[in-house]
Amino acid sequence: MNFPFNIFLAAFLGAFTTSLLALPLWRKWCLRTNLVDAPGHRKIHNSPVPLAGGFAVLSGILLPLTAGAILLKLDVIQFSSAGLIVHGIDRRAIELAVLALGAVAITLLGWLDDQHELKALPKFIGQVLIAVAVAAACKRITIFVPSEVFSYAITVLWILTVINAFNFMDNMNGLCAGLGALGAFFFALIAASKGQYLVAVTGFLMCGALAGFLPWNFPNARAFLGDAGSHLVGYLLAVMAILPHFYTRQEPRPFAVLAPLLVLAVPLLDLAQVSLFRSLNRKPFWIGDTNHLSHRLNRVGLSRTRTVLILWLTAAILGAVACRL
């Protein structure tokens, strides 16, 4: 069976171009509606920056995904593995619809937070509802435990953890989006290597959409992801960690189930250490501070750009290791 490099490249480039070109339109809308990040405490920018990234990334994923699905169904696009992808779309139509609606919902939740600065409890309840809907409609984590209750609980917990890990990690230009693009890329590679082409296409769409946003955000930011974008990135990576089959009876490699933890090790480690630090200091773990991994590297003398590049490189090395499990 031929490896469909062309369709993967088309997915990446379609998402990249859509996100890149949609950003100026969303940026204008944000300025018009005053959806901006104003200068203030723990901020390094001196003028308001539009929070347009989440909407651009969402557009970069959903528009090419919808267009590609329609063209495949109409046989306008033809390649050797097209039948497998069309079969996957038919078999997972409800799952894909729920995942797309979840992406829209989590973006809107983040937008409400950007616009109205939601309190922690309402925001957390919104995250839980979306995570429960995804767990109910889609494939769930099992980790070899034959219990449906455990499967629901661990899936919801995983989604909440990754969403908040990326939300916490959005503290320097390019950091959250770059880690998200790398994570999506490695999950796409893992899925493609196992013949799960629809999952791989979805991963390359995510990677392309985030890469298309980066020129607007790194090293100098003309737009931010905002909570809408960081919530979306975390949601997408949580889902991409669930969709592939990391372990099968035909290929019994039990350590492969650790691949998602390696791919997402940087944001997960950051979440763990900053939550521990705040707890030891008797502070609410959801209240922001400057004790993230990125801030610590910055304080030892690295510039913000070099800090981000080092964390990207670390994530890339760990992702490459994950692909070998």
Where residue 79 falls among pLDDT bands split at 50, 70, 90?
Answer: low
**CA angle in degrees (0–180, nearest 5) for 161-245-136:** 55
pLDDT tens readout for residues 91-137:
777 778 888 999 999 999 999 999 999 999 999 999 999 999 999 88
pLDDT tens readout for residues 253-277:
666 678 999 999 999 999 999 999 8
Q: CA nearest 190: which of 267, 106, 125, 251?
A: 251
Query: Does residue 143 surpass a pLDDT of 80?
Result: no
Question: Do 71 and 77 form a contact (C-beta atoms < 8 A)?
Answer: yes
- Distances from the Cα of 270 to the Cα of 264, 276, 286, angstroms: 10, 10, 13
pLDDT at site 248: 52
pLDDT tens readout for residues 19-57:
999 999 999 999 999 999 887 665 666 678 999 999 999
Q: The tokens of 52 are what?
A: 């347009």
pLDDT at site 133: 92
Query: Does residue 80 surpass a pLDDT of 70?
Result: no
Question: Do 201 and 9 form a contact (C-beta atoms < 8 A)?
Answer: no
Where residue 1 falls among pLDDT bands split at 50, 70, 90?
Answer: very low
pLDDT at site 78: 60
Mean local confidence (pLDDT), 247-258: 62
pLDDT at site 3: 60
In sequence order, which residues have a C-beta less than 8 Å from that of residue 236 and are 6 or more positions away? 61, 103, 180, 184, 206
pLDDT tens readout for residues 200-237:
999 999 999 999 999 999 999 999 999 999 999 999 99
Q: CA nearest 16: which of 184, 204, 169?
A: 204
Q: Quote the CA–CA distance of 94 and 103 in Å, as a whole number.
A: 14
Highest mean pLDDT (candidates 65-79, 138-152, 213-227):
213-227
pLDDT at site 257: 76
pLDDT at site 139: 75
Sort residue 289 into left (φ over 0), alpha (ψ -120 to 50) or beta.
beta
pLDDT at site 42: 59
In sequence order, which residues have a C-beta less than 8 Å from that of residue 66 and are 6 or more positions away? none
Q: Quote the CA–CA distance of 118 and 96 in Å, as a whole number.
A: 29
For residue 287, with 0-12 CB atoms within 10 Å meaning exposed, 13-18 middle and 19 or more buried, which class applies? exposed
pLDDT at site 162: 97
Q: Quote the CA–CA distance of 157 and 124 in Å, as a whole number.
A: 12
Q: CA nearest 54: which of 286, 213, 186?
A: 213
Higher pLDDT, 291 or 2: 291
pLDDT at site 7: 84
pLDDT at site 263: 96
Q: CA nearest 51: which of 216, 165, 197, 267?
A: 216
Q: CA nearest 315: which of 246, 269, 251?
A: 269
- The answer, yes or no, to whether the previous bond of 219 is cis (omega within 30 of 0) is yes
pLDDT at site 46: 64
pLDDT tens readout for residues 154-170:
999 999 999 999 999 99
